[in-house]
Structure 1
Amino acid sequence: MFIKYQTKRQKHTERFSFGRIFWYLISFCKRRRYQSINNKIYTEIKVLNTSKFKHFNRLSFTVLSELTNINRTHVENWVRSEETKQFVGEVMIQKLVDEVKDMFYRWEKETSSDKIPMDDLADELTRLLKSLSRH
C-alpha cells in the first residue's frame, strides 16, 4: 500500500483579481481539509508502527520513513547510482549532475530553501530526463 499526502501547492502566474477570490477561498479550504486528513493518516501510521503489528500476525509489512524534502546531495547520489547510469548512459551522468546543480540553484534563489519537496522534485526530474532523452 502506498499513501501519498495531498499537499501539492498550486503555482499561480496570473495576477490577483476580485473574480479569483472565490477560487482562492475554495483552494484554501481544500488545503485545510487535506492537512486535517494528512494528520489523521500520519497519526494512524505512527500508531500502527509502534504496535509492533501484534494485531496483524498474518500480514507482513514495513512502514517506511516519511519521504521529506530532498537536498542536492541526495539527488546527485541518485544520479551517480548504477541504476541511473544504466538508464541514461554513462556519458550523460555529468550533464545530469550539472542540470541538477542548476535546478537546485534556481530553486534556492526562488524559495530561499536548499531542499525541494518530493512532488516538485519528481516533476523537475521527469522534465529533465525527458529533455535529455531528446538530445
Structure 2
Amino acid sequence: MATWWFVSISSVIHPFDSSGENLNKIVEIGNSDYTMASKLSAKELLAELLEFAEELGTTPTRAQMDEREPYSSTPYYTEFGSGNTALEAAGLVTNHDNSIPKNELIRALQKLADKSDRLPRF
C-alpha cells in the first residue's frame, strides 16, 4: 500500500507552474496502489476479491481490504459504487445491512433528542 506524506502543496509545487505537471506527479506517486488497481477490469477486481475471501475463509471487511497489498478498497468503491455492491457482484455475503427503514431512523433520532434534551449532532 502507498505511503502517504502530508506536506504543504505550496512547498512542493512552484507557484508559477500552471501546467499542473508537478501536481500530477504528486498524485501519481501518492496513489500508486490505486493507479495499479484502477487498471484492472471489474472482472479482475472481482477475481481478486474472491481470492482474498477464500484466503480469509469469510467475506473481507473494508479494513481488511485496506490492509491487503497491493490493492485497497478504493478501486472497488470506484468501480462498483459501494463495498456491498462489489461483494454482491462477487457473490459474497455482505458484512452490513444498510437498509434500515427511514421511519426507524427518525424514531431513533427523536428518542435520542428526547433523552438528551437537544437535537442530535453528527
Same fold (TM over 0.5): no
TM-score by length of 1: 0.27
TM-score by length of 2: 0.29
